[in-house]
Structures are given as structure tokens and as C-alpha cells.
Structure 1
Amino acid sequence: MKNESQQAEFLKQLSPQAFLAFGMGHVAYIRPVVVQNRTAYSLHAADGTALTMVDSLAGACVLARQNDLDPVALQ
């Protein structure tokens, strides 16, 4: 892809199934969640499958990297 507009156009043309599979085996999403009034971090595969939950964002990033995944934080 040469520029952002080409990347955006490519992503717009993906089917819902292809979009879910986009990044599988390469990306792990990290989402903060509240458990018993404390913030924990849920680690998910690119398709949304929950993988694990840990106490810290740093710990979630380490787990992703140890499994050859690039961590991406969600808000």
C-alpha cells in the first residue's frame, strides 16, 4: 500500500469475515476491563476471541510479544 487513502480503501472493501480474520496470528488486542472494582486487561485474538486476563497493561503486552503477536490497545 502506498498511502493512507489506499489502505483505507482496501479496508473498506473487506468482507465482515475477512475483516475479522485480518491480523489473525499477528495482532492481539488489549482491552481494559473492571473486575471487582479494579482494572484488569483482557487479551484478545484478532477475531475477538478472549485469550487471557492479566493485572497490568505491561503484562498483557509481554504476553502478546511472547506469543509473537503485536499488541494493540483498545479504549
Structure 2
Amino acid sequence: MQTPVEMAETGGRTVYVKTVAVTDLPKDVQASVPGRKQLYAVHDEAGEQLALVADRKMAFVLARQHDYAPVAVH
């Protein structure tokens, strides 16, 4: 959960970072990431996927670079 200060800084723009099994992705995406077992998806508050990246840290950096406040989904 964001603190009031974080909400003010980001305008309440929260995104969620979650692990995604490559086997759960479309075949064309699977083919583009050979050897990977998981990726990290960044979703907005409505559940729309905004990004899919190979590295968890990169998912958080990417979100912050676009003025979002990332939160991990367990």
C-alpha cells in the first residue's frame, strides 16, 4: 500500500508487477524468449498489461521511469 506522500508524488498511479510463467503466454511470445521459464508483467489498476519484461528489477525501474508506483503481486 502506498503512503499518502507516495500517492501525492505519483498521482495515485499504481501498477502491479507479477511473475508470469512463459508456458502461460501465447506461442509467439514463448518463441521470442527461448530458455526463459518466467517473465514479469506490469499491469495497471484495471488489470491491463502494460509491459512484459525478463527481469523483476527492470519491471520496477520501467514503472518508475513512467511515473508509476510499482507494487509486487505475490
Q: Tell me, what secondary structure is at the counterpart of 2:15?
A: strand
Aligned pair count reads 53
Mapped to 2, the partners of 1:25 and 1:49 lie a distance apart of 16
Show structure 1 runs of 5+ residues with no match.
1-23
Question: For residues 41 and 28 of structure 1, do their structure 2 counterparts lie closer, same or farther at Cα, with a shift above 3 Å needed?
Answer: same
Percent identical across equivalent pairs? Answer: 37
Specify which structure has the bigger relative contact order, considering alpha-carbon pairs within 8 angstroms and separated by 6 or more residues.
2
Higher Rg: 1
In structure 2, the CA distance between the partners of 1:41 and 1:72, relative to structure 1 (3 Å rule), is: same
> Letter of the aligned partner of 1:39 in structure 2?
Q
For residues 17-64 of structure 1, the C-alpha deviation after alignment (integer angstroms, 9 at most, x for no partner) is xxxxxxx86101001011146111000011111111000110100110
CA RMSD of aligned residues (A): 2.1
CA–CA distance in structure 1, aligned partners of residues 45 and 61 of structure 2: 17
Q: Paired residue for 1:33?
A: 20
* 5+ long unaligned stretches in structure 2: 1-10, 24-35
